[in-house]
């Protein structure tokens, strides 16, 4: 694989669909990569991915020909740096609510002068084919993508400040948390008018700041609709739901 394929695709204006995984299985993520997803996300916030499984999972995604993406836990900035050292090409950080959160994320994920990322990308250099530290260092800040999740009223109010933070590459909408928070915990209706307005506001803020608008979608139909609305990194479905839906379809056919 060429180095930093995700960043190159996104900066070239392409739309990237990313598989979403929670099961911490290297075989699953490699299979999804080999099926043709350009990126595969390993969810360490709500999924079962931990440091040891990320080592093998990131390698498996790369072996399958896709870009590894990791969503870290809430305020998991130490894991953000660690996952990049292990070869992740992008980090999704949840609950980035203001400029201060965004700057802490950048500090962990970007090398100086943008941030304070500590040096040690031994595995990343191997996967990226960088034989000299200076080769990796020269490309890493542009080549690794920081995705700030916008999913609360506070984040929505501060979206311009977050988008304009140097070192933030992408605004990533978490639609279900956004719907929950905007309804004060009463609903998860991602099609509610206030949620749709927020989606447009966030997308516009990203575009105005020259950043990448991104979103998670539960199914392919919504993913295509979000592409039509200008979103360019789109997480789609999940490995567990794909497994359950596939099993349900087979059982339905067997039972007639």
Which residues carry out catalysis? 46
d(CA 63, CA 214): 25
Q: How far is CA 142 from the centre of its chain?
A: 16
Q: How far is CA 175 from CA 12, 74, 93, 249, in A?
A: 26, 16, 14, 27
Q: Can you tell me the distance from the alpha carbon of 254 to that of 228, in angstroms, rounded to the nearest whole number? A: 38
Q: Which residues, 6 or more positions from 230, have their beta carbon under 8 angstroms from its beta carbon?
A: 203, 207, 213
Overall residue count recorded for the chain in this entry: 256
Count of CB atoms within 10 A of residue 201's CB?
Answer: 14
């Amino acid at each position: 694989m060429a180095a930093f394929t995700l960043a190159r695709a996104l900066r070239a204006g392409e739309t990237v669909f990313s598989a979403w995984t929670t099961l911490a299985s290297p075989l699953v993520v490699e299979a999804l990569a080999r099926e043709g997803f350009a990126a595969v996300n390993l969810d360490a916030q709500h999924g079962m991915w931990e440091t040891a499984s990320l080592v093998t999972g990131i390698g498996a995604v790369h072996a399958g020909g896709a870009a590894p993406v990791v969503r870290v836990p809430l305020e998991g900035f130490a894991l953000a740096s660690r996952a990049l050292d292990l070869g992740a090409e992008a980090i999704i950080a949840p609950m980035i609510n203001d400029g201060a959160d965004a700057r802490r994320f950048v500090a962990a994920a970007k090398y100086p002068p943008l941030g304070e990322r500590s040096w040690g990308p031994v595995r990343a250099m191997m996967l990226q084919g960088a034989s000299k530290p200076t080769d990796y260092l020269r490309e890493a800040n542009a080549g690794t993508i920081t995705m700030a999740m916008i999913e609360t009223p506070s984040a929505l109010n501060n979206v311009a400040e977050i988008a304009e933070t140097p070192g933030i590459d992408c605004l990533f909408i978490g639609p279900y948390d956004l719907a929950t928070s905007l309804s004060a915990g009463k609903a998860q209706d991602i099609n509610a008018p206030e949620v749709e307005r927020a989606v447009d506001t966030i997308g516009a803020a990203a575009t105005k700041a020259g950043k990448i608008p991104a979103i998670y979608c539960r199914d392919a139909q919504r993913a295509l609709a979000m592409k039509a609305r200008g979103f360019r990194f789109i997480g789609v479905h999940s490995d567990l739901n794909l497994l359950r839906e596939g099993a349900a379809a087979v059982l339905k056919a067997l039972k007639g």
